[in-house]
């Protein structure tokens, strides 16, 4: 029989799942408390939130929301990283942390209602972040303007060089 506390946790998980763009599941077995705190800080800085819930309660919440089932990933100790916006930054943060802490293992997850495995999360982490993409687009948009400005300034610049050359020539004579 479910307790009021467990029902409250299921509701909390459902709210977090409904509000987030996705969730990445990790196995944190072998990490110390200090390392877990460090991981939480890095994930939070990347725009996500790391939380640990019982696997069974997470499965119930997923079923109640009619979301894809993640039973194969919800085994053993599982930390859920709720992605609020762009999934690239949290995936990068997890991959960077996993490089220096071998105990952390990315299991898979759910990104925009699509089940992804660990290899897909790694592929997401290799993508450029939203900010990097915006910067690239802006530089592409500004490039033609810079070229036009260079062409527009060329005659005036050439005229100034000719005037300077004439002035230098007269000063030398």
CATH number of domain containing 70 = 3.30.70.1730
* Spans in the chain with pLDDT lower than 50: 1
Which range marks the domain in which residue 119 is found? 4-127
Is residue 84 in a domain?
A: yes
Is residue 42, in this structure, part of any structural domain at all? yes
In a domain, 162, yes or no: no
Rounded CA separation 62/109 (Å): 12
- CA 13/CA 65 separation, integer angstroms: 10
Does the residue 89 lie in any domain? yes
Number of domains in the chain: 1
Do the domain assignments include residue 109?
A: yes
Query: 18 in a domain, yes or no?
Result: yes
At 43-93, the pLDDT tens digits run 999 889 999 999 999 999 999 988 888 888 888 899 999 998 888 889 999
- Provide the percentage of residues in the chain whose pLDDT is more than 90: 31
Does 53 fall in a domain? yes
In a domain, 165, yes or no: no
Q: What is the pTM of this model?
A: 0.72
């Amino acid at each position: 029989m479910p307790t009021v506390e467990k029902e409250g946790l299921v509701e909390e998980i459902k709210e977090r799942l409904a509000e987030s763009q996705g969730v990445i599941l990790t196995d944190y077995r072998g990490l110390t408390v200090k390392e877990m705190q460090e991981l939480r800080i890095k994930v939070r800085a990347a725009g996500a939130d790391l939380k640990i819930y019982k696997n069974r309660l997470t499965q119930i919440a997923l079923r109640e929301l009619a979301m894809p089932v993640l039973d194969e990933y919800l085994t053993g100790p599982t930390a859920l990283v709720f992605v609020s916006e762009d999934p690239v930054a949290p995936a990068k943060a997890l991959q960077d942390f996993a490089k220096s802490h071998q105990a952390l293992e990315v299991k898979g997850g759910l990104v925009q209602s699509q089940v992804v495995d660990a290899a897909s999360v790694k592929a997401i982490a290799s993508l450029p972040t939203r900010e990097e993409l915006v910067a690239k687009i802006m530089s592409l948009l500004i490039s033609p303007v810079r070229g036009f400005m260079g062409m527009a300034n060329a005659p005036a610049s050439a005229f100034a060089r000719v005037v300077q050359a004439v002035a230098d020539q007269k000063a030398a004579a």
